[in-house]
Amino acid sequence: MTWFFLALIAPFLYALTNHIDKVLISKYFKESGVGALILFSSLLSFIAMPFFFWADPTVFSLEPLSIAILSIGGILNILVLWCYFMALSDDEASITVIFYQLVPVFALILGYFVLGETITKMQFIAMTIVIIGTSIISFDVDADNKFTIRKQTIFLMSTASFFWALESVLFKMVALEENWIRSLFWEHLMLLVVGTLVFIFVRKYREDFLQAVRKNSKPILALNIGNESLYMVGNIIFAYAYMLAPVALVLLTQSFQPLFVIIVGVFLTIFFPKITVEKVTLRDLTQKILAIIITGIGTYLLFI
């Protein structure tokens, strides 16, 4: 079970990045939009590349097919970021991340078709439970007890979860043949390449990016570098854990991320409200925690 405790570090780091993302979007990228933040996230991938090269100087010895697969992974990473940032711009961090509980469901299905992993009857039941859990958080209840459906959040985060699961399965396909350090190097390289192409050919994103840099260069750069560093460390931990257990099983630890997000969110709301504020009423917390418990049960049942 060493892999479990190791992989558990990643969702905590991701929870910290979720709140940093919310701060960036609400305070520094509110006018410029998510395109600028996507460019920051992708272009800063170069930070980790020298460390991977130092750890394994043979990173350039991958097979062409492996490079092609990881290139697809780089594109999927951009799509995950876009969907996630769009959802986060309109909703709370503790709401959006609960939908990531769909990742192991998609991973199990993709693992069946791509990696030849099996699916049992219990796992089909568990998938249904996870979907029920995410459905609970799909409704927003106002002070008058009126229900509204979070249509945009549902669509964007479901799509992000699918792309994340697909990228994870493709990564393991390559890492099983090569090694995880080489795979991570090329994954970050392709993310950098895709980000560069977006910067060159998507004029609006480029202009938004440059405008954001001119207005708030120091805080944006500091927060983004810190944010990407936390995220990359989490990715490294997850990538190594993938080599120790099935993809879907490792992604089980992702079910702890919403809990970490809520804990950090409540802490910040109470003690540092100038940084970020979330709904922490008894009704809102009950809805979130109930969704986490149900999705957590479903996720656990996926692997028993």
pLDDT given for residue 293 in this prediction: 92
pLDDT given for residue 155 in this prediction: 95
* Cβ pair 84, 156 in contact under 8 A: yes
| Residues forming a β-bridge with 148 | 140
> Can you tell me whether residue 149 is helix, strand or coil?
strand
Q: Could you give the angle at which helices 2-23 and 64-90 cross, rounded to 10 degrees? A: 50
pTM of the model: 0.84
pLDDT digits (tens, 9 = 90+) for 228-249: 788 778 877 877 777 777 766 7
pLDDT given for residue 44 in this prediction: 79
pLDDT digits (tens, 9 = 90+) for 187-219: 788 888 888 998 999 888 888 888 877 776 677
Q: Over range 100-122, report the average pLDDT.
A: 82
Q: Are strands 139-141 and 147-149 parallel, antiparallel or unpaired?
A: antiparallel
Q: Which amino acid is at 7?
A: A
- The whole-angstrom separation of Cα 276 and Cα 152 is 22
227 is in which domain, residue-wise?
2-301
Residue 100 has pLDDT above 90, yes or no: no
Rounded to the nearest 5°, which phi and psi values hold at 141?
-110, 125
Q: Binning pLDDT at 50, 70 and 90, where does residue 95 land?
A: very high
Phi-psi region of 33 (alpha: psi -120 to 50; beta: other; left: phi over 0): left
pLDDT given for residue 163 in this prediction: 94
Across the chain, mean pLDDT equals 84
Share above pLDDT 90 across residues of the chain, in percent, rounded to a whole number: 24
Q: Over range 254-267, report the average pLDDT.
A: 88
Number of structural domains in the chain: 1
Share above pLDDT 70 across residues of the chain, in percent, rounded to a whole number: 91
Q: Which amino acid is at 158?
A: S
Q: Which amino acid is at 69?
A: I
245's CB contacts (< 8 A; 6+ apart) are 3
pLDDT digits (tens, 9 = 90+) for 36-76: 888 888 887 888 788 888 888 888 887 888 888 878 887 88
Reference 259, options 303, 227, 295, 223; nearest CA is: 295
